[in-house]
Structure formats: C-alpha cells, structure tokens
Structure 1
C-alpha cells in the first residue's frame, strides 16, 4: 500500500485509512471450497440456534430458567457468528479485501462485547444449574422470573462500556508500515502485529481484562460444577445421577470448547504466538463452537429433543394441510 520512499507519517496515514484482511488468500485454489464450507456452517448455525430459540419461547414444557438462558444463548450465537462469517464469505468471493479503519474497530468492538456476553451467560447458566441441584428448595425464589431477566440483562449490557475504552485504546496506537492483517477478521492479536512502538501497556491491559471477564467466570463455572458433581454423587439413585448429569454435561462441553480456545488465544505469551496458529484457534471460538452448540444441547437433552420433534411435526402437519387445500 505504500512505497519505501514514504516517510513514517505518510505510512501512518495510509495504514489508518484501511486494513487488508488476508484471510485464507494464501490457499487460492481452495477459495470456492472454503466459501461453500463456511456457507453451510453458517446456515447450520442459523437454523440450529433459531430452532432452539423458537422452541424455548413457545413450548410450555421449556418455560423454566434453564431454557430461558438457553434461548438467550442461542440468540447470542446468531449475533456472534454474524459479526465475522458474512464478511469472511464476502472476502472469499472478491480480490479486494480491504476494510476501513472504522469498520475494523467496530467489528472488533462488537465481537468483544458479544464474546464477553457469552462468558457471562455461560456463567449464569452454571449458576442456574448450581441452585437447581444444590439448593433445590430455594430454586423458585432465587431464580424467579425477575431475577432471570435481570441476570440476562446484566450479561448483555455489561460489556458495552468496558470495550468502548478498550477498543479505543487499541486503535489509538500508532499504526505504520504494513496494513495487512493475517486473519479473516479484526481480532486483537492480528491488529497488534501492525502496531509500531511499545505495546507493553496494551498487552498488560489485555491480560487484566481477560483475567476479569474470561478466567474468573471460567473458575466460577468450574467451582459451581465441583459442588454440583459432589451433590449429584450423593443422590440415592442412579436414575437421579443420570438425569442430573444429562442437564449439566452439555453445558460443560460448550464451556470447555469456548473458554478453552479463548484462553489459549488471549492469554498465551507473545513469544509463542503466531499468525497461523491464532487464525486456526480463532476458528474454534468463532465458527466451530457455535456450530456444535445446537447439536450438543439437542442431542444430549431429552426435553429439548422432545420439544423439537413436536415443533417439527407441527410444522410438517401444517404444511401438509396447506398443500391439500
């Protein structure tokens, strides 16, 4: 984007105009295949999470706090993947993959806000399971409809003010020289590689925020499940064990996938980071995990499976009835 004759200020201005998302341009022969693959994954994510969202809102048997949070989580997943995948699909179809400085900042900001929301909603879901299994007599009082709405609302809005300042700090850093992002979206590690100057402060800030909004919620979830498992093992019957484990195992699998890949990405030492590794790992928490979440919750939860079958049968019956008219 700039010649070697430009002075530092000129290079800085050029870099501030736009970035180039290289994405998967290093494998040009697979662009069509990748487009088809990511499009199918995106459709699966949209359909799977939309179905869960619909049945948790309409099925009377799923009008409980656990499924209230699951509905919020499914809607969040739809928003979360829509920040990155549509842009990725568009870039796979064109040669010009530029993204303006402002658009890059906005993509990072929305992605971080939704990522923090996911951390908190997964924590709220763990708290719900903890109260249901470890404090069953207090469950109707502790997890009332009002409390659930307040918890969900707090999860959705808490990241908005935090990441305004954080994103501003990142994009206030001096950018100069190369403006090519070796990534398919504006993620923090990729953007920081283009910063010229000392990034020690922002790296420490990343670790502090990651500790507060990723590591601490993850430890709270683990602590909740230690108590949950110890309580389950005290249940008198193996039937009680199986039922309690079935409601918790799916949540634990989602937590492991999401938090594991997120912690590896944002808390790894800079000395062992690489652009290709970051891009590969980010596929897990941006695309792979949201794709598997509906499958995990449906296949491992009998109540969701029953409600889903009822909904699909109702839709099929209505369609058949309309065709005969």
Structure 2
C-alpha cells in the first residue's frame, strides 16, 4: 500500500514552515508543496489539493475558503489552520482533549478546523469547568493573554527580527476595539453563555503564550474552591498525553509563569492559582503558540486522521 499523500498549501508562513519541519523525515507519508512559481496559480493549486489524501491549509481565511471550494475529489480530507471554519457547521474542531470522544471524531472527520492559539488555552481551561457545573456559563469572563511575536505572522516577525528590530516594541497590547476574531471561537467551543472579554498582547520573544482568566469565588456556587477547580481539570485531562495540570502544591510554589517554558513541544500546561484570603482564583495556561497553538496541533490532528486511512 502506498503512503498517504499530504499536501501543505501555504508552507511559507510560520505555521506552514513549522508543520513542514515537524513532518520532515517521516517515512510513513509523502509530503509535498507547490513550487513558488505555482503558488498563485488557481489551476495548479486545485490539481494539487484534489490529488492528495489530506490537505493542510496554512492560508488566510479567504484563500482557505477558496481552497475548500476547489475540492472536487470526495476522498480528500482537510485540516484548515486558518480561522475560516472554526465555528462552521460540518467542520470538526481539532482539539482532541477538549471533550470525551473528540479525538475519535477528528480521526473520522473529512473536515477538521485547527483551533486558534489563544482559544486553545481558554477553552482548555473553561470547558471542563463549565461542563462540570463549577463555573456558570454566564460568568463575566475576562481573558488576557500574552503571545510571542510570531503569533502576528511574517509582518510581526520581520518587525522583531528584521533590520529595524532594535526599535521593535518590548510589549504591546492590541485588539483594543474588542473585536478579536478568536472571541466567537472561544465562546462557541467553551460553551459560554455570553461573549467573554478578551484582550491579547505581544511580547518581545519569538514564541510561547501565557493566558490567564481571573475568577471570584463569591460569584461561584457555595463550596467551589481552587481545589475543586484543580481536581476537575486534573480528572478531565488525566489520560491525555499533551495536557498537563499543575498540582496545587506546584501552583503555590510557582513564583512566575514563563510563556516560553513549553516552546518546541505540543504540550499545554494548565494551573489554578488562589488567594484564600481574598477569595480569588487565577486560571492559567502556558503553551507554544506555534506548537499546541498551531503546527503541533495540526500534526496531532493529522496523525489521528491517518489512523482512518
């Protein structure tokens, strides 16, 4: 039997390059991309996507939609790394650890939409707690995250690594219009009853994310504590390979959270930090925005889908 053919459409950006790198040397599949002369040729791109077993789209949203529309071969399966289909009907959300049976759904899916980097942390923290009834769906969530500048794509990488890198800002908060495209994705897949407040930022480091969500225990059901929340997360992710939940002892002794701690991995580390005195809890997630937040997740989903070829 011939090896499955994987076509990466858009391998020049940060996500596509990292996927290509992660698949380099794999003997169980054949990876191909288009030469530079054909990348903007609609006919060549359509031919390529219809000739593969699984296509990984690393494209802007509009181009990703066009690529999917060009598929005429019903056997072609797709992993879309853009945000074009993350809340669309008919697409399976590519977060295997999110819910029971999600990995199996991904393995069987024809169309998989890769999660956004920030939503991976927010959904990973909130969905288990909401499904367990420990945090109300209509809680007024405020989500803050700091990502490495690679999360801004080639333009932000050039700003920090190009000839004018010395003048690049050390830190910048963005999305001040409060309409970040990841917000509906977080609300939909975390199961929130209303739109969360989401504010992202970039730091002067290449990759990695720290995402935090504060909770007031007085707004939760009586008896819910940091220990209750940590136990829920630990149970939800107990059998997963790529999600780690810090013990309360680890959280108590942690002096800080390093956004770069899991760079180069496909792991997601979750923690629950608490002030018993003030009745406040901080949920936190650390992961690589180019790993579990992008290319690592895509390769994880690809491996699940290859099980059904």
Q: TM-score, normalised by structure 2?
A: 0.29
Judging by fraction of residues, say which structure has more helix: 1
Judging by fraction of residues, say which structure has more strand: 2
Q: TM-score, normalised by structure 1?
A: 0.28
- Of the two, which has the highest radius of gyration? 1
Q: Which has the higher contact order (CA 8 A, sep 6+)?
A: 1
